[in-house]
């Protein structure tokens, strides 16, 4: 077993609501670690609509999903939360009163006094392309994310898709791979125009190939792909040799392991909470943001911010039992301002 990481609070999910929770916890001197299955912070805002404007964040007339994520990261900087990205929380169990143990799919083990589940709609799962038998290659030579670029060094890589992920990984892996082909069903892209221009420049320099068509079948054995059969829009077929296939067809959200943690659930996918504290039926485990349910719940970012503030008030009593909590404003409390680093 790896060394146990101990913290006051473990936040599962680094979406906007989880991020703001680190601010409210930090103001009350609680240290937080984050775990998120994505390789970046921001949850739905960063993954599903980074460039779309949001118009209903109080006091901010307009901000993009990515802009809000960056502003939240700036706001929580004084509290130095630790991020464990690209890891999924698999198990969560109560081992004391209150003490929880949590493990991730990367083998990390955490112990904490408070758990905040801010897992939104669950984990983002890659959409699997409709290619017969693709499951047999998944995890060995078909990958839906790039965890380590080095794994693709000197490989013949086939990237499939026309969105940001497909284009970003084409650009990033082009210097690492022995050869790289980008395959997309049409010559229009959903990715950022700058990435498309850079990709086209690489094609122009002969450093990568761009091919129009769709994968219809795979060839290989023992989990190792050798070639992808491609069907073009005019119905003709040909084969592209490759050692690694990276399909980027977008993400869907699935609840994943949250359902197995022994917490009361509603309709199998939402966690009922007390609206005074946003605590679940298990003392010390809180649920904020899109994952929770209570009468009148609105799945809005502003609701999650409010929930985070009330959660922190109750969490304080688990982390500092018997210690009095004095309510203070950031505008007028020099002690809060010191924590924020705005006064000496």
Ligand X SMILES: Cc1cc2nc3c(=O)[nH]c(=O)nc-3n(C[C@H](O)[C@H](O)[C@H](O)COP(=O)(O)OP(=O)(O)OC[C@H]3O[C@@H](n4cnc5c(N)ncnc54)[C@H](O)[C@@H]3O)c2cc1C
Nearest CA to 145 out of 128, 120, 122 is that of 128
93 contacts ligand X (rule: CB under 6 A): no
The most distant pair of C-alpha atoms in the chain lies apart, rounded to whole Å, by 74
Least distance between ligand X and beta carbon 40 (Å): 8
> Looking at beta carbons only, is 176 or 302 nearer to ligand X?
302
Burial (CB count within 10 angstroms: exposed 0-12, middle 13-18, buried 19+), residue 99: middle
> Looking at beta carbons only, is 17 or 228 nearer to ligand X?
17
- In the structure encoding, which two tokens stand for residue 306, read together? 């409010």
**Stretch of 24-32, 147-155, 167-175, 299-307 lying at the interface with ligand X (CB under 6 A):** 299-307
Q: How far is CA 185 from CA 143, 234, 302, in A?
A: 19, 11, 39
69 contacts ligand X (rule: CB under 6 A): no
> Looking at beta carbons only, is 183 or 258 nearer to ligand X?
258
Tell how strand 4-12 and strand 63-64 pair up. Answer: unpaired
Q: How far is CA 79 from CA 39, 245, 333, in A?
A: 21, 40, 17
Distance CA 245, CA 262 (A): 37
Q: How far is CA 60 from CA 54, 159, 290, in A?
A: 9, 38, 21
The single residue among 7, 10, 15, 184 that binds ligand X, judged by CB under 6 A, is: 15
**Stretch of 147-155, 218-226, 233-241, 250-258 lying at the interface with ligand X (CB under 6 A):** 250-258
> Looking at beta carbons only, is 59 or 206 nearer to ligand X?
59
DSSP 235: S
Length of the chain: 344
The single residue among 11, 30, 119, 160 that binds ligand X, judged by CB under 6 A, is: 119
The single residue among 108, 208, 290, 314 that binds ligand X, judged by CB under 6 A, is: 290
The single residue among 120, 161, 220, 247 that binds ligand X, judged by CB under 6 A, is: 120
63 contacts ligand X (rule: CB under 6 A): no
121 contacts ligand X (rule: CB under 6 A): yes
DSSP 243: S
Residues 16-55 close enough to bind ligand X by CB under 6 A: 16-18, 35-38, 43-45, 48-49, 54
Residues near ligand X, by CB under 6 A:
12-18, 35-38, 43-45, 48-49, 54, 56, 88-89, 118-124, 256-258, 289-290, 299-302, 304
């Amino acid at each position: 077993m790896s060394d146990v990481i101990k913290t006051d609070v473990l936040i599962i999910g680094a979406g906007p609501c989880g991020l703001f929770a680190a601010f409210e916890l930090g103001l009350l001197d609680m240290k937080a670690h984050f775990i998120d299955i994505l390789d970046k912070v921001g949850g739905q805002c960063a993954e599903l609509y980074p460039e779309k404007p949001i118009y209903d964040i109080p006091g901010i007339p307009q901000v993009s999903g990515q802009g809000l994520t960056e502003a939240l990261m700036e706001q929580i900087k004084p509290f130095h939360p630790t991020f464990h990205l690209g890891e999924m929380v698999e198990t969560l169990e109560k081992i004391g009163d209150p003490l929880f143990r949590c493990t991730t799919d990367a083998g990390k083990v955490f112990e904490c006094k408070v758990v905040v589940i801010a897992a939104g709609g669950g984990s983002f799962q890659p959409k699997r392309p409709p290619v017969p038998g693709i499951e047999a290659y998944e995890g060995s030579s078909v990958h839906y994310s790039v965890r380590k670029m080095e794994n693709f060094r000197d490989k013949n890589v086939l990237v499939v898709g026309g969105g940001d992920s497909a284009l970003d990984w084409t650009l990033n892996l082009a210097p690492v791979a022995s050869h790289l082909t980008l395959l997309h069903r049409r010559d229009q892209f959903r990715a950022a125009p700058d990435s498309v221009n850079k990709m086209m420049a690489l094609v122009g320099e002969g450093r990568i190939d761009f091919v129009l068509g769709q994968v219809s079948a795979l060839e290989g054995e023992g989990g190792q792909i050798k070639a992808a059969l491609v069907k073009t829009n005019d119905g003709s077929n040909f084969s592209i040799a490759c050692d690694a296939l990276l399909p980027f067809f977008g993400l869907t959200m699935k609840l994943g392991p949250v359902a197995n943690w022994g917490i009361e659930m509603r309709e199998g996918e939402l966690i009922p909470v007390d609206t005074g504290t946003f605590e679940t039926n298990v003392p010390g485990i809180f649920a904020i943001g899109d994952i929770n349910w209570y009468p009148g719940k609105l799945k809005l970012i502003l609701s999650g911010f409010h929930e985070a503030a009330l959660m922190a008030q109750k969490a304080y009593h688990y982390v500092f039992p018997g210690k009095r909590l004095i309510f203070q404003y950031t505008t007028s409390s020099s002690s809060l301002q010191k924590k924020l680093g705005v006064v000496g």
